[in-house]
């Protein structure tokens, strides 16, 4: 992935990961963020289109609902993996801070700093995953409202 094509913060993340020798990890995180954001935007546009059209079939809505559930399950899995990683790094950070307080040596301070540097991007990434999946639940509810013929959704702003 070319660093020049990324926004400032994403480019910094890629460069930092490359310096640390983690080739591919930052690019994968950034691609997942872009994918989830693009998919949610696509679904918002699809819901808007469906709410404006008068001749939408139940089969079309059912097909979209099934695909949306598949996407939600994939993003839920990604969210679970990142929750486990984030909690693990947070626990390690707390242990490193405790070790720093107890030992007052240089190594625990460096370890604590390194873990904190790793923890911040994971928290940010998990935050994005969590919020986007929650928004997808709302999109699924809107699809269910459309399939039941509920006209209240058609009047609701996305």
pLDDT tens-digit readout, 106-158: 999 999 999 999 899 889 999 999 999 999 999 999 999 888 765 444 445 44
Q: Which of 2, 44, 25 is nearest to 156 (CA)?
A: 44
End-to-end Cα, the chain, rounded Å: 33
> What's the whole-model pTM score?
0.69
Report whether pLDDT(68) > 90.
Answer: yes
pLDDT of residue 33: 85
**Looking at per-residue confidence, does 85 or 29 come out higher?**
85
- Average pLDDT of every residue of the chain: 82
pLDDT of residue 154: 45
Instruction: Give tens-digit pLDDT for 11-28.
Output: 655 555 565 555 555 556
pLDDT of residue 87: 95
Q: Which residues contact 79 (CB under 8 A, 6 or more apart)?
A: 126, 129, 130, 133
């Amino acid at each position: 992935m070319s660093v020049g094509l990324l926004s400032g913060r994403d480019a910094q993340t890629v460069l930092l990961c490359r310096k640390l020798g983690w080739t591919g990890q930052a690019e994968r995180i950034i691609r997942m963020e872009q994918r989830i954001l693009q998919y949610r935007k696509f679904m918002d546009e699809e819901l808007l289109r469906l709410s404006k059209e008068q001749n939408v079939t139940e089969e079309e809505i059912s097909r979209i609902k099934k695909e949306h559930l598949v996407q939600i399950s994939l993003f839920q899995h990604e969210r679970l993996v990142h929750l486990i990683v984030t909690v693990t790094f947070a626990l390690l950070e707390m242990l490193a801070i405790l070790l720093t307080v107890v030992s007052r040596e240089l190594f625990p301070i460096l370890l604590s700093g390194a873990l904190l540097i790793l923890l911040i991007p994971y928290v940010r990434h998990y935050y994005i995953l969590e919020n986007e999946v929650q928004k997808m639940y709302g999109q699924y509810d809107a699809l269910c409202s459309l399939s039941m013929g509920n006209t209240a959704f058609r009047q609701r702003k996305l």
